Amino acid sequence: MYVGADVISALQFTRSDVEKLIALAEEIRRVYETGGRLDVAKGKVLFTAFFEPSTRTRLSFQFAMIKLGGAVVDLGPEEVTSMAKGESPEDTLRTVDSYNPDIIVVRHREPGFAAKAAEICRAPVINAGDGYNEHPTQALLDVYTMWRIFKRLDGLVAGLMGDLKYGRTISSLSYTLSNFRDIKLYFISPRELRPREEVLKILDQRRVHYELVERPEEVVEKLDVLYVTRLQKERMSPEEYERLKGSYTVTYDYLARFKKIPVVLHPLPRVWELSRDVDVLPQAQYFEQAKNGLYVRMALIKTILGV
Ligand code: NCD
């Protein structure tokens, strides 16, 4: 990962990029958790442009930049910008880029939008989610969380469950894990929600071992990690949502019947697919996962700024 790099796809990440970002995130975490500060981004500005809803991704990028001593400008909701007058997101970005931000973080419902933004903008662009396509920085915090728990990524067995077709965290996480040795992925979903062909093709090219399964009970006891995702309601037809709703739910009682309960992760937000009674289990690590997003994004910002 070089200074000034755009971060558009997790396919960009090498094993060494991931390892360096994890090491840097750990270092930054130590500084902050012992009351230190790192004002390395002083005088730099990060611009967040979210054309789709977000809580964790937007706010953790903003917190990350401010905690590094930098400043943040946020686009704000559509109704207060000229988008409400019919301006295109492209024109909005071109204009803000001319004010010279040091990094632009962008989310949009259109697959490929981040790549387009990177062409338009002089500033480095970070993809914070482009439709069903990718969410590379989520993958970084997902693997950082796994590394913190297992102290390695090689040899991990992960079950990725839920909406694997429209969930952009799935493609990015699979691509990122594909850099490591002896990874085994179980894609757990109804047939209609299996990962897209283009994603499986890339995993085949990268010689990743994976299996498609329909019922979690077939594999739960083999897993180190169960990564649950929500049905991407906004990316499917209402009929499809109604049909698939409730096709899988992870509850405390469901997990309690297995001899071995894997670490449970979720990119959040959760709706009904992961019940709140799971939170009491020591294996429930999704809030820790969200917290890790802060440190890994600080590491990424620091790296891209070259400070
Ligand atoms: C995810 C996303 O936006 O893709 N959320 C997140 O960034 N943590 C997952 C989701 O919305 O289901």
Pairing state between β 125-130 and 157-161 = unpaired
Mean pLDDT of the chain: 96
Predicted pLDDT at 280: 98
Atom nearest to 290 CA in ligand 1 = 8
Q: Give the pLDDT confidence score for residue 78 in this predicted structure.
A: 82
Intervals of the chain under pLDDT 50: none
Residue 307 makes CB contacts below 8 A (sequence gap 6+) with 40, 41, 44, 68
pLDDT at residue 271 in the model: 93
- How far apart (Å, rounded) are the C-alpha atoms in residues 184 and 178? 9
Residue 245 is predicted with a pLDDT of 87
The rounded distance, in Å, linking the Cα atoms of 178 and 172 is: 10
| Strands across the sheet containing 103-108 | 71-74, 45-50, 103-108, 125-130
Q: Give distance in angstroms: CA of 45 to centre of ligand 1.
A: 24
CA of 35 to the centre of ligand 1 (A): 30
Position 246 scores a pLDDT of: 80
Quote the pLDDT of residue 241: 92
Given ligand 1 and candidates 50, 109, 126, 135, which is best to mutate, with the most ligand atoms within 8 Å of its CB? 135
Determine the pLDDT at residue 11.
98
Contacts of 8 (CB under 8 A, 6+ apart): 114, 115, 118, 125, 127, 134, 136
Domains of the chain: 10-134+293-305 (3.40.50.1370), 136-289 (3.40.50.1370)
Which pLDDT score is estimated for 43? 98
- Contact at 8 Å (CB) between 256 and 127? no
What is the model's pLDDT at position 276? 98
Distance (Å) of CA 221 to CA 33, 153, 186: 35, 19, 12
pTM comes to: 0.97
Q: How far apart are the CA of 174 and the centre of ligand 1, in A?
A: 15
pLDDT of residue 202: 98
Q: Which residue's C-alpha comes closest to atom 12 of ligand 1?
A: 230
Ligand 1 centroid to 267 CA: how many Å?
6
Using the CB atoms, write b or e for 224-236: b if 16+ within 10 Å: bbbbbbbbbeebb
What pLDDT shows up at residue 260? 96
Please answer whether residues 213 and 186 qualify as being in contact, where contact means their C-beta atoms are separated by less than 8 angstroms: yes
Characterize the bridge pairing of strands 209-213 and 184-188.
parallel
